[in-house]
Amino acid sequence: MLIPRVIPCLLVDQGGMVKTRKFRKKTYLGDPVNVINLFNRFEVDEIVLLDITASKLDRGPDLDVVENVAEECWVPLTYGGGITTLQQIEKLIRAGVEKVVLGTSAALNLEFVKEASKEFGSQCIVGSVDAKRKLFGGYECVYLGGKKVISGSPAERAHQLAEAGAGEILLQSINRDGEMTGYDLPLISSVTAATDVPVVACSGAGKREDLLLPILDCGASAAAAGSLFVFSGKERGVLINFPERSEVEMLLKPSLVRE
C-alpha cells in the first residue's frame, strides 16, 4: 500500500529561494539549486516550487531557474508562478516539470484550466486555492499573494477547479503560512469534502507529528510544508531537513491502518 505523500513546498523570489510568513515577511534561504541538492539527499516524494513574484510582476516563469532546478531535482517537480499560456506549460514540461500549479491565471480565467487539462491531461494540472480567514468568521479565496479576492469559499473554489479539469488541489492558508502553529484542519476538511480530486494541504506545520493530521483527520492525500523543512529551533535558523522514510512511515502508519 502506498504511503501518503509528504512534500516540501519551496518558494522562489526573483531567483533566490525564500520562506514567507503570512505570504509577506521573507527569509532568504539561498540559491535554489543548492537547496534542491540538499533535498535530494532525503527521500522526498516530490517537490513543489512556487515563484511568488512572477504574477505580481506580470511576467512568465523564469525558465532558466526552472531548468537549473529540474536538472538537479531527482524527484517529480511541480512548478507554479506566472503561467498564463499553454505554450509556457509546454516549455515547463520540456524543462522537466511534471505538474504545473495554476493560481492567478485560474482566478482570472477558469476556462484556462479547462484548456490546459484538455491539452496536457488533468494529472498535469494543479489548481491553487489560497485561503484567508475573514474578520468575522469564515474564509475567502485570494490570489496575487493575497492582494485580490475571488468570490466563493475555498471549498467552492476547489470544486470549481476540479470541475474545470484540475487533477489536484494545492490548498494554502495565508493565516497559517510560516507560523508553524499547526495546519488549519477545519479548512482542510471543508475542501476535501467538496471534491473527489487529491488535495495537498499546506501551511502551518510546526512539528513532524503535524504532518499526519491533514491526512488522517481531514482526508487530504498529501501534507506539504515549508518552514518545517527549512528552519530549526525557536530562532528559526536555516537548516534544510526532512524526516527519514522510516519516520514518515511511522508517522503516517495510523492512516494506513485505518484504510
User: What's the pLDDT tens digit per position in 85-98?
Assistant: 999 999 999 999 99
What are the start-end ranges of the E strands in the chain? 5-13, 16-21, 25-30, 47-51, 77-80, 99-102, 125-133, 139-143, 148-150, 168-173, 199-201, 222-225, 231-232, 237-238
Rounded-to-integer distance, Cα 153 and Cα 158, Å = 9
Give φ, ψ of 225 to 5 degrees.
-155, 155
Whether the predicted pLDDT of 169 surpasses 70: yes
pLDDT of residue 157: 98
Q: Tell me the one-letter amino acid at 246.
A: S
pLDDT of residue 254: 64
pLDDT of residue 1: 46
Whether the predicted pLDDT of 137 surpasses 60: yes
Nearest of 59, 54, 12 to residue 33 by alpha carbon: 12
Domain limits at 238?
Answer: 5-258
Assess whether 130 carries a catalytic annotation. yes
Residue 200 near residue 171, CB atoms below 8 Å: yes
Q: Residue 135 — pLDDT band, cuts 50, 70, 90?
A: confident
Q: Tell me the one-letter amino acid at 161.
A: L
- Bridge-partner residues for 30, per DSSP? 17
Whether the predicted pLDDT of 43 surpasses 60: yes
The catalytic position among 51, 130, 177, 184 is 130
Q: How many domains does the chain have?
A: 1
Residue ranges of alpha helices (H) inside 165-226 are: 185-192, 213-216
Task: Please report, for the domain that includes residue 168, its CATH number.
Answer: 3.20.20.70
Q: Residue 259 — pLDDT band, cuts 50, 70, 90?
A: very low
Whether the predicted pLDDT of 173 surpasses 80: yes
68-72, 106-110, 204-208, 248-252: lowest mean pLDDT where? 248-252
pTM reported for the whole predicted model: 0.95
Percentage of residues in the chain having pLDDT higher than 90:
85
